[in-house]
Amino acid sequence: MILLKDVGIHIKFHKKGKFKYFYVPLFDIKGFRYFILALDNQSLFTIIPILSISGKDEDPHMILSKQILMTHYSNPNLICGYLKTQLDFGFS
């Protein structure tokens, strides 16, 4: 798994794009798999994981980590485990 901040400055990204929200309740691994498999397999995506009580993008939320780079081929178990660790770390 790679965070956007860890990518070298010599690699340029097109940072203008549309925001889309995908709700995965309670770190449901099946939800992560579905989300990742639905990604275009020829593209790279920047993901900003947030924690929300209601799952609505306009309600207050907490950002769980820095931006994560993700593709159609990303490992959902790795992403889910990382986010669970971030959540535990944030409340300890």
Q: State the CB neighbour count (10 A cutoff) for residue 13.
A: 11
Domain spans of the chain, in order of start: 22-90
Work out the pLDDT band at 75, boundaries 50, 70, 90: very high
User: HSE on the CB side for 25, CA within 13 Å?
Assistant: 1
0.85 surpassed by pTM? no
The neighbouring-strand residues paired with 47 are 68
Structural tokens at position 45: 């995506």
43-69 tens-digit pLDDT: 888 888 888 887 777 888 888 888 888
Compute the distance between CA of residue 69 and CA of residue 2 in angstroms, rounded to an integer.
6
The per-residue pLDDT of the chain, averaged, comes to 81
The neighbouring-strand residues paired with 68 are 3, 47
Segment 60-88 mean pLDDT: 87
Give ∠ CA 3-32-74 in degrees, rounded to 5: 45
State residue 72's pLDDT score.
92
